[in-house]
A and B are shown apart, each in its own frame.
Chain A
Amino acid sequence: MSLTLAPILFNGLVFGLLLFMLSSGLTLIFGMMGVLNLSHASFYMLGAYLAYTISVGLGFWVGLVVAPVLVGLIGAVVQRYGLRAVHRYGHMAELLFTFALALVIGEVVPLIWGRNPVRYQVPHVLDFPLFQLGGTDIPAYRVFMMAVSLGMFVALFTALARTRLGLVVRAALTHPDMVSMLGHDVPRVFTSVFGAGCALAGLAGVIGGNAFTTQPGMAASLGGIVFAVVVMGGLGSIWGAFVASVLIGLLQTASISLDLPFGRLLGLPPAGSDGLLADLWSLTVARAAPAVPYLLLVLVLAFRPRGLFGSRNA
């Protein structure tokens, strides 16, 4: 059993780390500006599509570097000329702005790249099985994804801990007014953090788009989970986002291997073949798993708004 679980756990970890790339940016943005960016997953999608276009002409490796930068720039422009403009109408308007932006990006992408998935391929040099785990081949690309995620995690922590900007950002997370009073250009810091967060999402898109699929629905399918992760981890907490990402990643993939019905799990007698009770009895862990992140999201917000590791309430 442990051996057959190994590849599933590995894939869960890869997915969890990918989630972290999205959630770290989102949680930083929220922590600083108090804005929940509902269009965050759209930047993930933009990253994947831009990387696809670049990879067609110039190859994957150029895309890996250029696409996140482009996405970051788009994010900075959106913050500078969009979000900042609606800021005066309050948080609700900002939330609505990001919601509307997600709608528009979701429609502009198929306008440019079509409604079909695009053939964004894994680079040739990484398209081979690296080793075996529990009888399953592990593609080299998945290991590469993991390396990129971990590398980014280390880089992010170093940047936050060691650089001046990191210091300002961390201070702004906890004491935004004080930072502003000390004479730092807080709006500019906001723009850079927003851009950087979007760039991270873009990077996730670059390496996730070809491992999964690059298609117009990819933002919508991931968006909800990322919010669940960020809220669970505690808004504004990088560590929390990390732990919650990996937890949810593992939960999403590992639960697939548990096709035990709840009824049997709880040792209840079968409840007929039809009707609500029968549905409940025969509901497997695998089928219930997609709902779990959202259940946690709701419960955390309602009863422990600071999340697992957060220091401030939502």
Chain B
Amino acid sequence: MSMTVQHGMLPLERRQAALRAALPWVLVALAAFVAPFLLSSGFGLSLLCRMGIAIVFALSFNMLLGQGGMLDFGHAVLLGFGGFAAMHAMRAAGAGLWIPAPLLPLFGAAGGLLAALLGGWVAARRHETAFAMITLGLAELASAAVLMFPSLFGGEEGITGDRSDGPALFGLGFGRQWNVYFLIATWAFGCSFLMWRYTATPLGRLANAVRDDDQRVSFLGYDPARVRFLVFLLSGLFAGIAGGLQALNDEIVTSTNVSSEASGAVLLMTFIGGVGTFWGPVLGAILVTFLQIALSTMTDAWQLYDGLLFLAAVVWAPGGLSGIILAHTPLLRAGRGAALVGPYAAQLPGLALALAGVVWLAELGFRLQAVRNGAPAGLLLGMTARPHEIWQWAIGVALLLAGATLLHRFWPRAKMAWQAQMAATIAA
């Protein structure tokens, strides 16, 4: 969603541009509305709710990382504080205060903003590595502090509430997951739209400038630390809303919500989706949430796959999913996609083998643990897993090596083909 400068255009062109910009949003709204009807099982609905929350959270994270050049290792603190604030509001609603459930995320926003005020005040003074390390420290500090004040954060138990306790708004109760989904979807859509609008504001542009070169920004008369602080506040606000939505969805907020693990998860989502575009984190949030929920029901090794995916993205695809897509859209637009099909298809055997090898080894390892606990070893790609026998491990290693060899051999061709097509597209 690149920002087109709209000055000096003819009215018709301007209207067309506006329509073109609005189209994705209409499609997204439609998809969000239709999705629960397609995935109406309890499982599907839970998944969609989590995705909605993750999208807001990842977008708020990318306000810092992608758009502002700030790597926040403690972003979950902002989410968690929003969650705690919303949960206290939910309990107050249970005690008789007039707070309808749909407004609870506003309290989350306030909580996130407050946390961002405190954290941003110290962190925004620095940039790059120092900023990242301060947030790392803040995250650890927050997890320790949350356990120190049980009256506010509930200690190990956390705080629980009942979202259906509050007053009904227009006769709508929020006990059932179905209603909660539409609440989350509405908030997620609204927040995403606002965060998108933000990218075009002077502050959003300044954040980009600070990311690219903060010295030049200061020569222009702006204070980069101040810009970072303001962006951090805004990001905290939206992360807090995500926290509020999470509190509504889970009806519990604990120290886990502010943990470094939760912060790591949002970094993973955003990075895998791609930090270079506005919509990359949305893709990442959808994909990683899906992996976390669906994959974790299938295999114990899902965290390993998550980690490997992340590592692979850092090394081979620093632009994430959206980077890969952007690298190919001009070619596809120019109708040059067909030339790539061959060289890319040549990678498939190698990829499939390498992937099978990794999965084989990981599954075998975790089955070994499971068998020790008396669980059946089960099947592995249609074969009975025998994690105690060395030859099954040898199969995994062989698959991996064969795949790696093939990739090593054929990958340069795909790369060259892409470069050639790209050059041709640019030349045309």
Q: Do chains A and B touch in the complex (CB under 8 A)?
A: yes
Cβ of B141 under 8 Å from chain A: yes
A133 to B410 alpha-carbon distance, docked (Å):
67
**Are B126 and A97 in contact (CB-based, < 8 A)?**
no
The answer to whether A103 and B149 have CB atoms under 8 Å apart is: no
Would you call B318 and A294 a contact (CB within 8 A)? no
Segment at the B interface, from A124-132, A223-231, A246-254:
A223-231
Tell whether A314 pairs with B151 under 8 Å between CB atoms, given A107-B303, A294-B140.
Answer: no
Binds A, one of B200-208, B304-312, B347-355: B304-312
Contact A103 B306 (CB under 8 A): yes
Q: Decide if B311 touches A114 in the complex (CB within 8 Å).
A: no
Asked if residues B141 and A294 are in contact (CB atoms below 8 Å), the reply is yes
Cβ proximity bits A69-91 to B, threshold 8 Å, 1 near / 0 not: 00000000000001001100101
Would you call B137 and A115 a contact (CB within 8 A)?
A: no
A231 to B151 CA separation, bound complex (whole angstroms): 32
- Closest CB-CB distance, B27 to chain A, in whole Å? 32
Partner of B304, one of A104, A231, A280: A104
Contacts of B310 in A (CB 8 A): 100, 103-104
B-chain residues with CB within 8 Å of residue A111 when the two chains form the complex: 301, 304, 362, 365-366
Choose, from A15-23, A135-143, A271-279, the stretch at the interface. A271-279
Using CB atoms, name the residue of chain A closest to B123.
Answer: A302
A3 to B140, CA, bound (A): 34
Number of A-B contacts (CB under 8 A): 136
Contact B122 A302, beta carbon cutoff 8 Å = yes
B132 touches A95 (CB 8 A): yes
Instruction: Map CB proximity to A onto B78-108 as digits: 1 under 8 Å, 0 otherwise.
Output: 0000000000000000000000000000000
- The smallest C-beta distance from A243 to any residue of chain B, in angstroms, reads 19
For the complex, give the distance between the alpha carbons of A303 and B315 in Å: 34
Contact A110 B369, beta carbon cutoff 8 Å: yes
Interface residue stretch chosen among A179-187, A198-206, A285-293: A285-293
Give, as a whole number of angstroms, the nearest-CB distance from B151 to chain A. 5
Let me know if B152 is at the binding interface, CB within 8 A.
Answer: yes
B residues adjacent to A (C-beta < 8 A): 69, 71, 73, 122-123, 125-126, 128-130, 132-134, 136-138, 140-141, 144-145, 148-152, 260, 264, 267-268, 271, 301, 303-304, 306-308, 310-311, 314-315, 318, 362, 365-366, 368-369, 372
What residues of chain A have their CB less than 8 Å away from a CB belonging to chain B? 34, 36, 82, 85-86, 89, 91-93, 95-97, 99-101, 103-104, 106-108, 110-112, 114-115, 220, 224, 227-228, 231, 274-276, 278-280, 283, 287-288, 290-291, 294-295, 297-299, 301-302, 305, 313-314
27 A-B residue contacts at CB 8 Å? A91-B129, A92-B129, A93-B314, A96-B271, A100-B307, A101-B311, A103-B303, A103-B311, A107-B307, A111-B365, A112-B365, A114-B369, A224-B137, A228-B137, A231-B137, A278-B151, A279-B149, A283-B148, A283-B149, A288-B148, A291-B144, A291-B145, A294-B137, A301-B130, A305-B126, A305-B130, A313-B130
